[in-house]
Amino acid sequence: MKDYHLTHLKELESESIYILREVAAQFEKPALLFSGGKDSIVCFHLARKAFAPARIPFPLVHIDTGHNFEETITFRDDLASKFGAHLIVGSVQDSIDTGRVTEEKGFNASRNILQTVTLLDTIEEYKFDACIGGARRDEEKARAKERFFSHRDEFGQWDPKNQRPELWNLFNGRKNMGEHFRVFPISNWTEMDVWQYILQEKIEIPSIYFTHERECFVRDGVIYAHSNVIPLKPNEKVEKMQVRFRTIGDISCTGAVLSKANSLEEIVEEVAATRVTERGSRIDDKRSEAAMEDRKKAGYF
Amino acid sequence: MTTTSEIKPPNSDLSGYLGMDLLRFTTAGSVDDGKSTLIGRLLYDSKSIFEDQYEAIRATSEKRGEEYVNLALLTDGLRAEREQGITIDVAYRYFATPKRKFIIADTPGHIQYTRNMVTGASTANVALILIDARKGVIEQTMRHTYIASLLKIPHIIVCVNKMDLVDYKKDVFEKIKKDYSDFVSKLSKIDVQFIPISALKGDNVVEPGTEMKWYTGKTLLSLLESIDITHDQNLNDMRFPVQYVIRPMSHEYHDYRGYAGRISGGVIRKGDAVTVLPGGQSSKIKSIDTAGGMLAEAFAPMSVTITLEDDIDISRGDMIVKSDNQAETTQDLEVMICWLTDKKLQLNGKYYLKHTTKDVRCVIKEVQHKINISTLEKVEDDKTVGLNDIAKLSLRTTASLVIDKYEKNRNTGSIILIDEATNVTVGAGMII
């Protein structure tokens, strides 16, 4: 018999496409949470493959903190118009203006945690019953416990100690009114898999993933992009650095890395050689050992 | 073959990575047999742990006054797990070597161990079963082996751990090997291999070490890298459960009607004569479509979209098979069930049932017997089925299912039961 076997990237792709089609089949009103980061870009690419030659049967939802890298927003809008995708933006600024949330104060103030309220409000407004996200289990230890189909109660909460077991390829999306699911099609992918896949598929990504010169400053060992959303402390000085971003969140919680990587091949080599996790440059995870678990329980991504 | 990428990577490392395959394994062991340490060791010695992760667990170990860096801390992700020093739920870990990518389903040893092990085992190619060299084959070992055999995990690796505590003696290892082989001969045929290791010191995990010159076999990592998994999928019996119907309704694809799904077994080729079950209509495969173009053939577990020569009524839950190799269509099933929840199984109760892409309801007609998984004996006098119990059931479904026996195909032979009131997944079943 011929040697029928798939490479690991093809097997992961096949699994993710299966999950995406399962979402379209089991839910009435799904949405794809789209941040403009590499993981959500890969999810979008997989969704295009899953439903070709038809269009993706759900809208993209971006929860916008208002503190974005300009390049990411341009990329998001270009992608939506190029593929005719329906884009819905939930604005954290609106949540602040209407008094739904209160802005943090101080040098390390971030809108990261405020996103949860905007996200849950957006889900309620549009009555989404399944939100597809690009979270991966290798990213963070609380996420290592996450299911593909993750049940959320009527308050949007995750109960990690009481999750539905997932066996074989049988995914249970049953729920009561007012509850919803978060679905993570690339759960089993690692950072390396994502970069390799972007390389293999020639997927376009925002320019700030590649090396560029940028005005930055260093705080607590993390390189921050200088912008008007993070006030400088008196001793901090801005200098030009050759950097790129390994992960993209909003400006206030995303650290840059010194890098000369200018192509996908060079990024893959850099990721292979690196000895620090990508979330090492995410300030949002550094607030406590259980920072991610606590945010997830409250309904975060 | 159309599965390789079109890009030629610039150096050999990259082409190696793009050519790797994927192996899923699960770990089973009792409390304190060093399972978390072994996983930590595999990750650490294969350089899959990052410096910031290592620094975090080093600091925690030191704070707790532990002598070694406690590699078990790597796998405990939830606050309650760290506080109580226990593992609550299945955790998934990832690492890769230049040969393979690995997915570990790390299942806790004590609380709800059957439920968790069954979950981890359901998709595994390999089960690692740990035995403490000082204790030998114990009741837990037999339970884990039984579950691995019930779930039809194709390969078992028995790791005789803590060899450092028995002075690395060969006769200790040989005695355990013999005891285990005697036990496993009672079960259906399984591919079993044995390795003497010390997860704490690292002997025979990634590197051979210096203390067991008498062992000439492979290290654990080297074995995991080389086990042949190409025959773990059923490639003989073509099964295509229709998952989703693609109708673009666009000008360009005006009449397009594609059946999307993941091939659950066998190989599909353009031109194959097929039958759609349970309806029984016949047609031919007109095309096998992917976003990257049409394929001449496709095989399990690929996700593809197929079109047929004839315009017939097909929807989600139907199964496309080759006309000369059909699956069984039935409303009456016999299954081995593993019960996953505290609320007991209700005899004559009704449940939602999921099988491939089909959703039906079912009624539990009979509990034939339970299995005592320590002695493997049938229990006929007590038929209450509660958490972690394994039992043989007869059930009847509201509509026909297209099935294979689980031993023939893990995808078309498995079901889950869902509680109609709570929507919780309560049972995992294997069709016999």
Assign B92 to helix, strand or coil: strand
Residue carrying the six token digits 């678990």: A293
Say yes or no: B418 contacts chain A, CB-CB below 8 A: yes
Q: Residue B385: which of B333, B338, B334, B352 has the closest Cα?
A: B338
Name the β-bridge partners of B339. Answer: B427
Q: Residue B109: which of B78, B131, B80 has the closest Cα?
A: B131
- How does DSSP assign B63-109, residue by residue? HTT-SS--GGGGG--SHHHHHHT---S-EEEEEE-SSEEEEEEE--S
Number of A–B residue contacts, CB under 8 Å: 205
Amino acid at A85: A
Amino acid at B315: S
Rounded to whole angstroms, how far apart are CA atoms A126 and A258? 41
Predicted ipTM of the assembly = 0.91
- Judged by average pLDDT, the poorest of A153-167, A286-300, B31-45, B380-394 is A286-300
Residue A156 near residue A299 (C-beta atoms within 8 A)? yes
Q: How much is the pTM?
A: 0.91
Question: What pLDDT does A130 receive?
Answer: 95
Give the residue on A whose Cα is nearest the Cα of B116.
Answer: A165
CATH of domain B328-431: 2.40.30.10
Rounded to whole angstroms, how far apart are CA atoms A10 and A81? 28
A98 φ/ψ angles, rounded to the nearest 5 degrees: -90, 5
Question: What pLDDT does A102 receive?
Answer: 82
> What CA–CA distances, in Å, run from B169 to A37, B134, B175, B198, B210?
54, 11, 10, 12, 13
B239-322 against B328-431: fold identical? yes
Amino acid at A229: V
How far off is chain A from B423, nearest CA to CA, in Å? 6
- Tell me which chain B residues have a C-beta less than 8 angstroms from the C-beta of A7: 3-5, 18-21
Rounded to whole angstroms, how far apart are CA atoms B402 and B179? 41
Domain residue spans in chain B? 12-226, 239-322, 328-431
- Judged by average pLDDT, the poorest of A132-136, B1-5, B101-105 is B1-5
pLDDT at A279 over 90: no
| Average pLDDT value for residue range B322-334 | 96
CATH of domain A8-193+289-298: 3.40.50.620
Say yes or no: B307 contacts chain A, CB-CB below 8 A: no
Total length of chain A: 301
Rounded to whole angstroms, how far apart are CA atoms B9 and A53? 29
Options 3.40.50.300, 3.50.50.60, 3.40.50.2300, 3.40.50.1400; CATH of B12-226: 3.40.50.300
Q: List the single residue in A167, A176, A187 with the smallest CB-CB distance to B119.
A: A167
Mean pLDDT over each residue of chain A, to the nearest integer: 87
Assign A208 to helix, strand or coil: helix
- For chain B, give the percent of residues with pLDDT over 70: 90
pLDDT at A253 over 90: no
Residue carrying the six token digits 């066998």: B266
Rounded to whole angstroms, how far apart are CA atoms A42 and A50? 12
Q: List the single residue in A5, A48, A169 with the smallest CB-CB distance to B411.
A: A169
- Tell me which chain A residues have a C-beta less than 8 angstroms from the C-beta of B291: 48-49, 52
Within 13 Å, how many C-alpha atoms sit on residue A119's CB side?
30
How far off is chain B from A203, nearest CA to CA, in Å? 12
Domain residue spans in chain A? 8-193+289-298, 206-285
pLDDT at B409 over 90: yes
- The residues near A191 (Cβ < 8 Å, ≥ 6 apart) are A136, A138, A139, A271, A278
**Domain B239-322 adopts which CATH fold?**
Elongation Factor Tu (Ef-tu); domain 3 (2.40.30)
